[in-house]
Amino acid sequence: MAPAVLPGSYDATRARVQTYFDKRAARAWVDLTGEAKVSRIRATVRAGRDRMRATILSRLPEDLTGARVLDAGCGTGAKAEALARRGAEVVAVDVAPAMLAVARERLDPALRGRVRFMMGDMFDGELGRFDAVVAQDSMIYYAPRALTAHLAALRPRSPLVVTSLAPRTALLQAMFWAGKAFPRADRSPAMVPQDVDGLAAELGGTVLERVTSGFYISTALELRA
């Protein structure tokens, strides 16, 4: 008999994230992460995501020749392509097949030998060791205890981890509790606001830039061995 998946557990949250991005929101995310015209609100989110991606990539060398990099929660593949252009061998992992299909389609054919797309858990130890791990907004749905444990487990396998998290702001806290009070089957998985400063102190990390652009609010956290 398979073990029970408890509501609110890491596995249950990951399953909700997969369903949302694979079934309910695939088209919207294709538009948001591409060049399609979007609403003014979504345009601010797109701008915020672009800025955060640049912040994350700025922490890695311009020349990544010979480096093995994990793009944890690669989505539609923008970071994976940028890393491959710098010479990295990229393992791009996502739980949603629909996102991976878009990422494969968008990748420059000249870079296909440098990027390996995989469906699975971004924290899976079987993925091996990496010179760096990058994650943009793919860790924002998990409870603090699970997130801390998984980040701590990543560090022995990578001397550099850079991820963006939802900071504990009044707006995000209000959105989080509103989602709890008024759940809806088609709602996106709830972002979990984190005490990013506390997490950095516990793990010995560094808080980088906070990006605020309309409804997009995210803070970058860097962990080095």
pLDDT for the residue numbered 90: 98
Domain presence at residue 3: no
pLDDT for the residue numbered 136: 97
CB of 141 within 8 A of CB of 188? no
The Cα–Cα gap between 179 and 157 comes to: 35
Domain presence at residue 107: yes
Domain presence at residue 2: no
Question: Residue 75, SS3?
Answer: coil
CB of 48 within 8 A of CB of 70? no
What is the dihedral angle through the alpha carbons of 152, 223, 77, 14, rounded to the nearest 10 degrees? 30
- Tens place of pLDDT for every residue, the chain, 225 residues? 333 333 468 999 999 999 988 888 888 888 889 988 999 989 999 999 999 999 999 999 999 999 999 999 999 999 999 999 999 999 999 999 999 999 999 999 999 999 999 999 999 999 999 999 999 999 999 999 999 999 999 988 999 999 999 987 655 454 443 444 334 544 567 788 899 999 999 999 999 999 999 889 999 999 998
Domain presence at residue 35: yes
Q: What's the domain count of the chain?
A: 1
pLDDT for the residue numbered 175: 46
Domain presence at residue 188: yes
Q: What is the CATH number of the domain that holds 160?
A: 3.40.50.150
Domain presence at residue 31: yes
Q: Which domain holds residue 108?
A: 10-224
Question: Residue 6, SS3?
Answer: coil
Sheet strand arrangement including 132-135 = 115-119, 89-94, 68-72, 132-135, 160-165, 216-224, 206-213
pLDDT for the residue numbered 191: 81
Domain presence at residue 5: no
Question: Residue 133, SS3?
Answer: strand
pLDDT for the residue numbered 1: 34
